[in-house]
Amino acid sequence: MSANKKLTAIELFAGIGGFRLGMEAANIDILWANDFNELSCRIYENHFGLDSIVCKNIEVLDIDAIPKHDLLTAGFPCQPFSPAGKKLGIRDRLRGTLFERIVQILDRKQPRYFILENVKRILTMENGSHFRTILKALTQLNYLIEWRIINPMSFGIPQNRDRVFIVGHRLETEDSFPDLETCLTLLTQKDLSQLAIASACLDTSLVPISAIATKNDNWGIAYRDRMYSQQLDPLPTIKPLLTLKDILQPETEVDAQFDFTAETLDRIANSQAVNRYYNGVEILYNQKGGARLGYTVFGVNGVVSTLTASTSRHYERYRVGDRFRRLTPIEYARLMGFPDNWCDLARVYDRYALFGNAVVPVCVTWICDRLEKQNIKMALPQYKQLTLAI
């Protein structure tokens, strides 16, 4: 691809445009987008223009109407794989099998790259069998797959939000394979010498996906029904981490509708002081004294736990100065890396779910920047002698 030609992309399950914001920051042109949620589509069109998104069930879309593109992105429904859901995974007929539609579109349109995003539990659910079903389907399309858990905390955002990103590169011929340095540096840092990833891959064959029966590691590669994975350290700090306190609105700007003062004070009288951090989250009070049991009051000197679309999470209580309140939609926007007023078209209550379902744009930008730099190479003769079972 010419160095002067911009990559083009489409968004599936586009939501409020997290993937698009991340791709635009990486200088990628978005040609087409789709989502089924009417409110999400209204937010999307408000920022990206009328007719910027097709608001329609992906299962009835005409694939031929999707424009040719270099990169396909999809934050496909995470509820089937989330600890907060019914945990049906790919057995969820309503949402879990929507992944099959992604596979059909990839097979028909053959983009050069794809980026998929989901909750980290997809790696371990039922000993990782759901994730391996997904891998098997993707590798049969002649894509080299790499995945890694990425957290926005690495980019300074004070939200502990582990998400698995699955990146695919389409190979030009079935007997070609990228050089090892390329496939091992897309979602890893070149200076992670302590992990010895290259030597591990050189000494270990890619294993048939069907032969694996244990939970999947947080990083790995897969190709043509075979895979290799390894547990990596978290992504190194790329930007200094802020705390929740750093991104809060001034209290003079926070309306009283967000307060829980009277009820919270009554509850605290029957709660235990915790005053400790759990996964970076400051916990002040709790009915049971544990990490997240019962009625909990959080502090602002750490990060927040994963924002979700669950309505119960919208009402978590924080002590901010002398106030006990929930976070505002503007603070949710900042914790997701969006502009403050991104979802103002929606009522306050609905904004929480819109952000909780979104993709953090800066994580997408980081991956897209690396896509441009990798320039996948075909296998050199010496790599064909390796036990990579290609």
**Residues involved in catalysis:** 78
Q: Which residues face 33 on adjacent strands?
A: 11
383 torsion bin: left (phi>0), alpha (psi -120 to 50), beta (else):
alpha
Question: How far is the C-alpha of 202 from the C-alpha of 388, rounded, in Å?
Answer: 8
Kindly provide the residue ranges of all beta strands, DSSP E only, lying in the chain, ordered along the sequence. Answer: 8-12, 29-35, 54-55, 71-74, 113-119, 143-150, 159-160, 163-170, 207-208, 219-223, 226-230, 272-278, 281-286, 296-298, 304-305, 317-320, 323-325
3-state secondary structure 11-46: EECCCCCHHHHHHHHCCCEEEEEEECCHHHHHHHHH
Encoded tokens for 66: 């999707």
Q: Are 296 and 317 in contact (CB under 8 A)?
A: yes
Chain centroid to Cα 375, Å, comes to 24
Question: Radius of gyration (Cα) for the chain, nearest Å?
Answer: 22
How far, in Å, are 35, 47, 389 from residue 199 at the CA level? 42, 47, 16
Question: How far is the C-alpha of 46 from the C-alpha of 205, rounded, in Å?
Answer: 50
What lies within 8 Å, CB to CB, of 105 at 6+ separation is 12, 63, 66, 72
Q: Are 377 and 178 in contact (CB under 8 A)?
A: yes
* 181 membership: H or E segment, kind and range: helix 180-183
